[in-house]
Amino acid sequence: MSERILSVLVEDKPGVLARVALTISRRGFNINSLSVGPTNIEGRSKMTIVTELESVEQVKKQLNKLVNVIKIVELDPDNTIESEVLLMKVSINKETQTSVIEKASLSGAKSVDVGQDYAVFELTGTSKELMKFEKLLKPYGIIEMIRGGRIAIQTKL
Amino acid sequence: MTKEMLTGAELIVRTLEHLKISTVFGLPGGAILPAYDPLYDSPIRHILARHEQGAGHMAEGYAQATGELGVVIATSGPGATNLITSLNNALMDSTPLLAITGQVATEAIGNDAFQEAYTVGLTISATKHNYLITDVKEIPQILLEAKHIATSGRPGPVLVDIPKDILNDKTSWVEPKLEELPGYKPTLEANPRMIQQAVELIKNSKKPILYVGGGIIHSKANQELFELSTKYNIPVVTTLMGRGAFPDGNDLCIGMPGMHGNYTATTSIQNSDLLIALGVRFDDRVTANPKFFAQKAKVIHADIDPAEIGKVREPEVPIVGDAKSVIKGLIETLADTEVDTKDWLKEIKEMKKSYPLSYNQEEKGPLKVPYVLEELQKMSEEDSIVVSGVGQHQMWISLHWKFTYPNTWLNSGGLGTMGYSLPAAIGAKVAFPDKQVLALDGDGCFQMTCQELITASTENIPLKIVVFNNGNHGMVRQWQKIFYDHRFSASELTHHTPDYVALAEAMGAVGLRMVEKSDVNRVFEEMFKVNDRPVLVDCVVDPDDMVFPMVPAGGSNDVVLLNEDDLKKI
């Protein structure tokens, strides 16, 4: 895997996500994940874009041309903390209920809602951990699953 | 005293006046109508185009000829969608353009209202930047910002979309002041360390070549380029967009390289050991297959747009900066260095001699475009502005016309927009009423925007138009001949319909025709006598003539086809 993570500071204005998304699709870049949300600075949002090594230079340069893009930092893979949230609704019954909840709990997932025939879990972790969790509960029947997109922050100043 | 209250519409006109805009091109309609009312009283000249695409190209022609901002106004929906071709064209050729479009009223946006189109969404990828105004107070500030973005850094089109209700809202005039844009800071000054590295490469090269393009013209760096080339004896190739950046009359000029470049220009790049690429983007029409492009050369690539550097070819020395500052830096740092290019110049001179451009105009045979061009140039002024369409005639002009000054060659290089010539020439003639402006077009191209002839007649814009009428989409025909076994699918137009002379007369212009060699000088003489109206020459030319040299798309620039016989090589 030759992934690169870009942390992109943008102006919080209507249409900025569309501009970024259009630039990416227009240039045919490979993007593995894109997430966007507010920051501690007013009027600024941050996007975390996970792309491949071969596209990273052009992605940076083309996005930098957007007037609403303020700053792009390529995160150093050795000093980066990455996180993603997952919500999963799993099918359960009397026989499987205990083992499903136990497995989820051992994986660090939170049971946010448990019904008669379903359970909803929330898990935060790296993409790898989330994929492992998915594999673990797949045999019980995943009814629905959503991942929130990867976010990342550099550890050093 | 209460402050004077102005409508959004009045603010637009006031701001355009404040920005010293003297001419706008456009076409009114429902949503933009409020803006046309104060325009009626303004000293700003408004040229009423017959189609928004034409209005857009007029503004582009104005901008390409002056090097300053061109302004176009259109209404919502179809007005805006018709503009898109010209916006994208301006984006590809880095032409500074400001487009102002009307939008349906704020509360109707998103409801599929009459003449509603999502203009901002549709034009994100056809502009350098765009805006939707949401408050009347924003108008002066955003128009100023839009002009700044359009004209600075790598120039380009900026669109400002304004809902109709905001055009009618009122506020007071506050003079706009340019504020810092956090995400827009073009690098103008070149990094001295990179200049130093470039100079080291130049000192050590035996076969350097200046590969220059539109960037020289945008940065008005032609004099600096001239000094760099002539002081250090470095030959120059000028790309399609860079024609006129260096005078063709100078021995160091080699002309246009690439797919239809001249043999020496294409080959000297292949043979060089150092490409000094200034304001160019290694376009596929220049490089052919980039794998085989200038394989022996190291590359210095300077451009104001960092995204162009390394996009196609990874340079040994990347320089981000304005061409003028880069060249000044190079000259200062080279100082009294002597670059020994004597042998290299000799090699190029011999190549020029062995592979001259050629054409065969028979005494009684059909007219050939290169012959007509050479005769026309002899009879026209040295600083005539030549505006072309796209296709065979465009390549022939670029090959055979001798350019002396920048901004005298206007064409659609990047997007290759047929129909560009006539409206762009109108824009240029409006900018320079005292200069000769020649719209040299193909018949296929001309039919795409020929309604603008009425604009030229009614607005009293006496330009000269030559329609090279081969009755075909000539370049399509040429490719069908070479690559599709002479199967001329949908490329035939006929010489006789329309009757261009009658068409010109019907549209208030003078119509003339030339068919054979003996007509050429006489008809051009007549053409130059007409100065109170537009004049059009229907120049009937050989449909079977092909543009050579040629490097087929995706091929190697090492294999330049010089004539029809060479087609056997592929």
Would you state the pLDDT for residue B538? 98
Is the CB of residue B120 less than 8 Å away from at least one CB of chain A? yes
The model's confidence at residue A30, banded by pLDDT at 50, 70 and 90, is confident
Would you state the pLDDT for residue B250? 98
Contacts of A11 in chain B (CB under 8 A): 182-183
Count contacts between A and B (CB, < 8 Å): 41
Would you state the pLDDT for residue A77? 85
Decide if A153 contacts A80 (C-beta within 8 A).
yes
The runs of H, that is alpha helices, within B335-386 are 342-354, 369-379
DSSP letter for B13, please.
Answer: H
Q: How far is A46 from chain B (nearest CA, A)?
A: 13
Fold designation for A81-154: Alpha-Beta Plaits (3.30.70)
What's the rounded mean pLDDT across residues B476-484?
A: 96
Residue B1 pLDDT greater than 70, yes or no: no
CATH class of B369-544: alpha beta
Per-position b or e across A15-53, b if 16+ CB within 10 A of its CB: ebeebbeebbeebebebebbbbeeeeeeeebbbbbbbee
The model's confidence at residue A53, banded by pLDDT at 50, 70 and 90, is confident
Which CATH number applies to B192-354: 3.40.1160.10, 3.10.20.30, 3.40.50.1220, 2.60.120.380?
3.40.50.1220
Q: How far is A71 from chain B (nearest CA, A)?
A: 7
> Inter-chain contact B307–A64, Cβ cutoff 8 Å?
yes
Residue B42 pLDDT greater than 60, yes or no: yes
Q: At what angle do helices B8-18 and B139-151 cross, to 10 degrees?
A: 40
**Residues with Cβ within 8 Å of residue B354, at least 6 apart in sequence:** none
Domain with CATH 3.40.50.970 in chain B: 5-172, 369-544
DSSP B220-239: T-HHHHHHHHHHHT--EEE-
Query: Which of B124, B305, B306 lies at the smallest CB-CB distance from A22?
Result: B124
Residue A95 pLDDT greater than 70, yes or no: yes
- Per-residue pLDDT tens digits for B408-451: 999 999 999 999 999 999 999 999 999 999 999 999 999 999 99
Is the CB of residue B124 less than 8 Å away from at least one CB of chain A? yes
Radius of gyration of chain A (CA): 18
What's the rounded mean pLDDT across residues B145-157?
A: 98
Would you state the pLDDT for residue A1? 57
Contacts of B305 in chain A (CB under 8 A): 65
- Per-residue pLDDT tens digits for B266-279: 999 999 999 999 99
**Marked catalytic residue, from B10, B25, B52, B128:** B52
For the complex shown, is ipTM > 0.95?
Answer: no
Contacts of B181 in chain A (CB under 8 A): 67
Query: Which of B128, B132, B183 lies at the smallest CB-CB distance from A70?
Result: B183
Is the CB of residue B110 less than 8 Å away from at least one CB of chain A? no
Query: Which of B181, B307, B310 lies at the smallest CB-CB distance from A65?
Result: B307
Contacts of A61 in chain B (CB under 8 A): 306-307, 311
Q: How far is B307 from chain A (nearest CA, A)?
A: 5
The model's confidence at residue B569, banded by pLDDT at 50, 70 and 90, is confident
Contacts of B128 in chain A (CB under 8 A): 65, 67
Q: Which of A45, A61, A62 to mutate to test the interface with B (most CBs of B within 10 A)?
A: A61
Domain with CATH 3.40.50.1220 in chain B: 192-354
A91/A137 Cα distance (integer angstroms) = 9
Instruction: Give A11's strand partners.
Output: A44
Q: A25, A31, A34: which is closest to A7 by C-alpha?
A: A34
**Taking all residues of chain B, what is their mean pLDDT, rounded to a whole number?**
97
Domain with CATH 3.30.70.260 in chain A: 3-74
B149/B153 Cα distance (integer angstroms) = 8
> Inter-chain contact A14–B149, Cβ cutoff 8 Å?
no
> Inter-chain contact B183–A14, Cβ cutoff 8 Å?
no
What's the rounded mean pLDDT across residues B47-73?
A: 98
Amino acid at B540: V
CATH class of A3-74: alpha beta
Would residue B115 show up in a list of annotated catalytic residues for this protein? Answer: yes
Residue A72 pLDDT greater than 80, yes or no: yes
Residue A157 pLDDT greater than 80, yes or no: no
Q: How far is A30 from chain B (nearest CA, A)?
A: 16
DSSP letter for B179, please.
Answer: P
Question: In whole angstroms, how far apart are CA B419 and each of A44, B14, B449, B464?
Answer: 43, 33, 5, 16
- Per-residue pLDDT tens digits for B297-308: 999 999 999 999
- Per-residue pLDDT tens digits for B158-193: 999 999 999 999 999 999 999 999 999 999 999 999
> Inter-chain contact A58–B125, Cβ cutoff 8 Å?
no
Query: What CATH architecture is B5-172?
Result: 3-Layer(aba) Sandwich (3.40)
Would residue B475 show up in a list of annotated catalytic residues for this protein? Answer: yes
With CA atoms as reference, the chain A residue closest to B158 would be A67
Q: How far is B435 from chain A (nearest CA, A)?
A: 37
Q: How far is B105 from chain A (nearest CA, A)?
A: 18
Contacts of B132 in chain A (CB under 8 A): 14-15
What's the rounded mean pLDDT across residues B332-338?
A: 97
DSSP letter for B108, please.
Answer: G
What's the rounded mean pLDDT across residues A30-42?
A: 93
> Inter-chain contact A22–B120, Cβ cutoff 8 Å?
no
Residue B338 pLDDT greater than 90, yes or no: yes
Decide if B412 contacts B93 (C-beta within 8 A).
yes
The model's confidence at residue A54, banded by pLDDT at 50, 70 and 90, is confident
